[in-house]
């Protein structure tokens, strides 16, 4: 992730102090280590769980087209090495990388922080959200992608989740959502706050 996009994430981390974080779409682990490096300053016993199809679809162009996956397949070995490097310095840090389609691997659970950036088809985003919907903070990457936008817009309308300005997201504990305030990125990332 472009480092210029990280300050709002750090605001969320500093406020919620997540101990259990989850990323759908770990890829090579670049954003994973950006999240982990910051959160380890808050909790040395941080737990990271990352889901990705990884190398299983390296040459499956139909999969990448259907899921609007512009980065191609991630490498589990690279992600694992990036996270093990953190584990050497922070002995209490635990991580788990889960390979495969989230339709097969993702079970219903709750985390303190979730980053949804796996497949970008409507059905995949819906599935991933529904399995993690009780988590405290849920970030959707690539809202500018048609099917992500469609799912998210339908979700907040159906659940009557109000939008609030970013400078108000930490002042209440009612369910709400806001866009991350990125000034120089084409990425649009709405965030649902459940607490």
Q: What is the pTM of this model?
A: 0.92
- With CA atoms as reference, report the closest residue to 67 among 37, 27, 34, 96: 27
**Mean pLDDT (whole number) for 55-61:** 60
pLDDT recorded at residue 184: 72
pLDDT of amino acid 11: 97
| Superfamily designation of domain 3-193 | Vaccinia Virus protein VP39 (3.40.50.150)
Boundaries of every domain in the chain: 3-193
Residue 68 is predicted with a pLDDT of: 58
In the predicted structure, residue 71 carries a pLDDT above the cut 90: no
- Please write the tens of the pLDDT for every residue from 128-139: 999 999 999 999
pLDDT category, 63, cuts 50, 70, 90?
A: low
Q: What would the pLDDT profile of 13-25 be if each residue is shown by its tens digit?
A: 999 999 999 999 9
**What are 77's two structure tokens?**
């070995």
Residue 107 burial class via C-beta count within 10 angstroms: exposed 0-12, middle 13-18, buried 19 and up? exposed
Mean pLDDT over the full length of the chain: 91
DSSP state of 176: E
């Amino acid at each position: 992730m472009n480092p210029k996009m990280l300050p709002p994430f750090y605001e969320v981390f500093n406020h919620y102090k997540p101990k259990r974080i989850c990323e759908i779409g770990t890829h090579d682990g670049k954003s994973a280590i950006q999240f982990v490096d910051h959160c380890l300053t808050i909790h040395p016993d941080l737990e990271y769980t990352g889901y990705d199809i990884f190398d299983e679809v390296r040459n499956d162009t139909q999969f990448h087209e259907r899921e609007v996956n512009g980065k191609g397949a991630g490498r589990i070995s690279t992600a694992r090495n990036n996270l093990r490097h953190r584990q050497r310095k922070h002995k209490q840090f635990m991580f788990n990388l889960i390979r495969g389609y989230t339709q097969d691997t993702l079970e219903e659970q709750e985390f303190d922080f979730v980053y949804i950036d796996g497949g970008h088809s409507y059905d995949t985003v819906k599935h991933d959200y529904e399995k993690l919907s009780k988590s405290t903070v849920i970030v959707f990457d690539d809202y500018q992608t048609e099917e992500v936008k469609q799912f998210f817009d339908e979700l907040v309308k159906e659940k009557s989740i109000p939008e609030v300005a970013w400078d108000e997201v930490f002042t209440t504990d009612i369910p709400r959502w806001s866009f991350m305030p990125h000034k120089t990125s084409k990425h649009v990332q709405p965030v649902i706050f459940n607490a």
